[in-house]
Amino acid sequence: MPEVKGTILDVVNRRFYNGAVVIENGKIKTIRETDDVPRQFILPGFVDAHVHIESSMLVPSEFARLAVRHGTVATVSDPHEIANVCGKEGVEFMIKNGNKVPLKFYFGAPSCVPATSFETSGAKLTVRDVEELLDLDEILYLSEMMNWPGVLNREKEVMAKIKAAHSRGKPVDGHAPGLKGEKAARYASAGITTDHECYTKEEAVDKLKNGMKIVIREGSAAKNYNALISLLGEYPDKIMFCTDDKHPDDLVKNHMNELASRTFTRGLELFDTLNAFCAAPVKHYGLDVGLLQTGDPADLIVVDDPETMFVLETWIDGQCVFENNQVLIPRVPVKRINNFSAYKTEPGDFKVVAGRKDHPVIVARDGELVTDKERVRLPESSGVVLSDPERDILKVAVVNRYKKAKPATGFIKNFGITEGAIASSVAHDSHNVIVVGSSDQYMSDVVNLVMEHEGGIAAVRPGEKEILPLPVGGIMSDRPGREVAAEYEKLSFMAKNMGSKLHAPFMLISFMALLVIPSLKMSDKGMFDGETFQFVD
């Protein structure tokens, strides 16, 4: 019988002691106290309380091979992205692929596919579709209810999906950025239990007071940790942590372990920290994940020290899946799934005809999903509106990937590209192709590169073009995680050499099409105001 020795951090009973964990048939048979232990610490494995696996650009089995290095044993995963592309078939793909590896993927039923009626998606999930997904044992909850206006107005279809989860005893996740006061109270009263979209403490406290739990997010693009971390000391039983979206280059470096280390070294109480990273998601969602108690599944990690959370070993269901810096999960074959109608664009497709005094401009914020908005005068020539690179105002466009259509083109600020263009078919939520560039020619060239490969992230500049193909749904690769991370890093470096000062330009561009997050965003149908939920005239 395997035996793991060290200082045991007992999250459930809030104590630590030296001991040996004895494992038999995937369970913890017993834990015996002994002083004969090495200087290392044993604790329950980390749980990411809300993540879109697709945003790592990896299929679940490859995500697992990177995540276990950092002590992640389970994820609460919303397959919303693949569902927007491929519908129920996409959700089933994620479940089947995830089941081929030991890491415990707990999927939800996507609640908003399409996310809005203001964009073209590849699929639609009806109330009946959601009910059928919720009937599956592998589906544990209703994923983030981002149609908060529908909740506030008690729209029939929205409430039917929430009722379907409640009637099956499954929780409902929230997604309501900026909601406070009476609106937050009405949203919570629909039976929505969590929110990971708070970007101010005031907003989060409002939701906590209305009975919701707050999931503090720190991903590759959206970073709310600094604004919200003090909540853990004030509401220790109502806080969880998530990454939401973690790009491959970041996942190679760390996952929940880095956040847990950062939290503990800020002076927050150790067991409050471990509860939020390990136990709280297990209890809230009813996950079959062990918490280092006799009889539990043997899901545990060994770290060198709680301050660093450097992972030495990861165990899932009594199987050691990472030790001696080696991942012990083999790669698995991937059967591709996609929904992509590729066609060629021309530079003229991206022109903006003159005829107004000023133009709405999306003002991107580095590290945030929310944007600001401005109205500015832009230069014109021969009846056509031009970009204004001196003020860092470039064209942004969304090109329909599901059928041939004229691109929707507008203007965006703070991408910094001086010569060239970047594009991505990872463009939340409907995953059309989004592009930002310094000229119509570069924009057309880079979009055509993505179209040619039926999905990918790409960059072009004088004398150079690069693409990371994403043949699985147009949003994921079937290649090994480290290879994908290296290609992604290469493309990010190229974008920065083109003038971008953004921390993660490809992550940020993917959210410029996320209509449910204020303020201005781009749809394949036009520029959209997420505060009024209307197109900009």
pLDDT over threshold 80, residue 310: yes
State the pLDDT confidence band at 222, using cuts at 50, 70 and 90. confident
Q: What are 139-187's pLDDT values in tens digits? A: 999 999 999 989 999 999 999 999 999 999 999 999 999 999 999 999 9
Distance (Å, rounded) from C-alpha 209 to C-alpha 215?
14
Output the CA torsion 400→371→369→529 (10° steps).
-50
Taking each helix axis from N to C end, the angle separating 156-167 and 127-134, rounded to the nearest 10 degrees, works out to 10
E-assigned strand segments in 296-429: 300-303, 311-316, 319-323, 326-327, 352-353, 359-363, 372-376, 380-381, 384-385, 393-399, 408-413, 421-424
Distance (Å, rounded) from C-alpha 98 to C-alpha 485?
20
Determine contact, residues 224/199, Cβ cutoff 8 Å.
Answer: yes
Q: What are 18-66's pLDDT values in tens digits? A: 999 999 999 999 999 999 999 999 999 999 999 999 999 999 999 999 9
Measured in whole angstroms, the distance separating CA 90 from the mean position of its chain's CA atoms is: 16
Is the sign of the CA dihedral 306, 309, 311, 316 positive or negative? positive
**What pLDDT score was predicted for residue 223?**
87
- CA-to-CA separations, 369 to 360, 429, 504, in angstroms, rounded: 18, 13, 12
- List domains and CATH numbers for the chain: 45-287 (3.20.20.140), 347-535 (no CATH)
**What pLDDT score was predicted for residue 516?**
84
Quickly count: other Cβ atoms within 10 Å of residue 85's Cβ. Answer: 29
This prediction has a pTM of 0.94
How many helices and strands (H and E) does the chain possess? 17, 30
φ, ψ dihedrals at 227, nearest 5°: -75, -25
Which of 48-52, 189-193, 285-289, 512-516 has the weakest average pLDDT? 512-516
DSSP assignment of 501-525, as one string?
--SSHHHHHHHTT-TTSSSEEEETT
- CA-to-CA separations, 70 to 14, 251, 253, 298, 442, in angstroms, rounded: 23, 9, 8, 17, 39
Q: What are 452-510's pLDDT values in tens digits? A: 999 999 999 999 999 999 999 999 999 999 999 999 999 999 999 999 999 889 989 99
